[in-house]
Amino acid sequence: MVKRSTWSLPYVIFLVVFVVLPLLLIVLYAFQDGSGHFTLANIGRFFTDSDSLQTFALSIEVAIENTLICILLGYPAAWILANRNLNKSAVTVMLFIMPMWINALMRTLATAELFNVLGITLGKGTLLFGMVYDYIPFMVYPIYNILLKMDKSYAEAAEDLGATPWKVFWKVTVPLSMPGVMSGVLMVFMPTVSTFAISEFLTNNKIKLFGTIIQENINSSMWNYGAALAFIMLVIIGITTLFGNNDQAEAEGGLI
């Protein structure tokens, strides 16, 4: 009988061709000029071009703000949803998760149109609102999940030992739920930096984020510079993943 571990072979080959090779190509194109010679000019161009640098800084800023607001608004929501005394309804939980299932472009467009009709000028404020609107379910869900699975006896023990509810929350509940917060951060931070259509819709093309300049360069056939920008993003992903150091996949995998 054939060993069943060989069953992974087709997928390994698939992964090498469609995941590893493409990522290597980003690196290859990033360090090549138009005629295929090795160069550092693409990377250098990013660090000397004030427009690109500004866009980059703004993207990081928006992503940090978005992530923080999502935590501030999402954590209490997740906590209430997971608390048996405050919420017993599975439907409310479902209502929070449901937007994740609806095309993000469609939701963003609806938000932008609503702003238009209400006469609110599109700009940084609406961008941030729209981002929070788009990404908050991705923060609520993993935190909710981890709070639900949390062993309640720790909190009870702290209470028995005389901790105030406030202290129990900060010293027990919050530290134990950190893995959930981390996967939420992973699901919110990088996607915010890399979105392109969303920022265009929400600001009427006034504000560009990093994803937009990658897309513009690739689409106007400036593949090498586009690849260099994508390479910079890859480096950041590497860093944030190491920093996050836990399996985002686990949180996402349990969606159903």
Partner 1 sequence: MMKKVLAKCYLWLLLAMLYAPLLFIAVFSFTESKVLGSWTGFSTKLYQNLFTGGVSGGSALLAAVENTLLIALIAAAFSTVLGTVAAIGIHNLKGRKKQTVQFLNNIPMINPDIITGVSLFLLFVFLGVSQGYATVVLAHITFCTPYVVLSVLPKLSQMNPNIYEAALDLGATPAQALRKVLIPELRPGMISGFILAFTMSLDDFAVTFFTRGTVGLDTLSTYIYTDARKGGLTPELRPLMTIIFLLVLILLVVINIRQDRANKKVKR
Using CB under 8 A as the binding rule, the residues of this chain from 108 to 137 that contact partner 1 are 109-111, 113-114, 116-117, 133, 136-137
**Which of residues 41 and 197 has its CB atom nearest to partner 1 in the complex?**
197
Residue 81 interacts with partner 1 (CB under 8 A): yes or no: yes
- Among 92, 178, 184, CA closest to 135: 184
Residue 60 interacts with partner 1 (CB under 8 A): yes or no: no
Binders of partner 1: how many residues, by CB under 8 A?
Answer: 89
Residue 146 interacts with partner 1 (CB under 8 A): yes or no: no
> How many residues are present in the chain?
256
67, 192 in Cβ contact below 8 A? yes
Residue 162 interacts with partner 1 (CB under 8 A): yes or no: no
Residue pointed to by tokens 């990081």: 60
Hey, which residues between 166 and 195 contact partner 1 (CB under 8 A)? 186, 190-191, 193-195
- Nearest distance from C-beta of residue 245 to partner 1, angstroms: 12
CB burial string 82-121: b at 16+ within 10 A, e below: beeeeeeeeeebeebeeebeeebeebbbebbeebeeeeee
Select the residue interacting with partner 1 from 39, 197, 206, 216 (CB under 8 A).
197
Residue 38 interacts with partner 1 (CB under 8 A): yes or no: no
Residue 242 interacts with partner 1 (CB under 8 A): yes or no: no
Select the residue interacting with partner 1 from 124, 128, 196, 222 (CB under 8 A).
196
Select the residue interacting with partner 1 from 48, 92, 121, 245 (CB under 8 A).
92
Packed helices 50-82 and 41-48: angle between N→C axes, nearest 10 degrees: 80
Residues whose CB is less than 8 angstroms from the CB of residue 201 and which lie 6 or more positions away in sequence, other chains included? 105, 108, 109, 112, 130
86, 80 in Cβ contact below 8 A? yes
Residue 62 interacts with partner 1 (CB under 8 A): yes or no: no
Residue 235 interacts with partner 1 (CB under 8 A): yes or no: no
Give whole-number Cα distances, 43 to 229, 230, 234, in Å. 8, 10, 13
**Which of residues 143 and 230 has its CB atom nearest to partner 1 in the complex?**
230
Cα(49)–Cα(45) distance, rounded to whole angstroms?
A: 6
Select the residue interacting with partner 1 from 46, 141, 144, 223 (CB under 8 A).
223
Residue 35 interacts with partner 1 (CB under 8 A): yes or no: no
Residue 75 interacts with partner 1 (CB under 8 A): yes or no: no
